[in-house]
Copies of this chain bind each other. A is one copy, B any other.
Amino acid sequence: MQTEIRKRLSAEERQEEIVRVAIELAAERGVDSVTTQDMAEQMHVTQGAIFRHFPTKDDIWVAAMQWVRQRLMQVLGKAAAGAENPLDCIERMFHAHIAFIHKHPAIPRLLFSEHLHQRNSKLKQLIQEIMSGYEAKIAALLEEAKQQGLAHTDLDTKYAAILYIGMIQGLVMQASIFGEKRLLVASAAQVFPVFLYGIRSKKND
């Protein structure tokens, strides 16, 4: 006689658990190879139960991405809080961002999932929003830095911001491809100064 301890959760609790489990599994195996069956097994529930809480599987990934966004914004906000100046702010946000991705291996998986790059995907739209906002924020900080004489005057802030985001994405991709052979956090720490050097004002050096 196997006494299955089955708890009956509220819809809200179960939804959160589904998202949490989906992210957990995606971190190990990649988004596209996580099935609803896998999720169900992980939380000791039947596969059909999943669809009481999400109309489609895709909606689970959208919810996962929303969770990531909410947490990322929190982390970036905290990092920005202690900054002394705009360039310091960017540097703190950069390292906080890298540390966050390092802590959540599901993020690269979400970024590289086919869903994201498909047409008309909700995920794609969500990422577009996140990236656009982020880019604008970085560009604004660079503009500030310029006005304070911290960045050189002929800096193209918009494309410097694109380079900033590209740097993060490139580092994440290389870490994903090289695996343990190239540590994300360590590489990031070495690459950032190269980026920063191209931004900084050279007058006072």
Contacts and interface: CB of A to CB of B under 8 A. Distances in A.
Contacts of A15: none
A30 B156 contact: no
Interface in A171-197: 171, 173-174, 176-178, 187, 190-191, 193-197
A143 B121 CA distance: 44
Interface stretch (A53-61, A65-73, A74-82, A124-132): A124-132
Interface residues of A, number: 48
Contact of A117 (B109, B131, B159, B168): B109
Copies of this protein, total: 2
Interface string A32-43: 110000000000
B116 A113 contact: no
Interface string A148-171: 000010011011101101111111
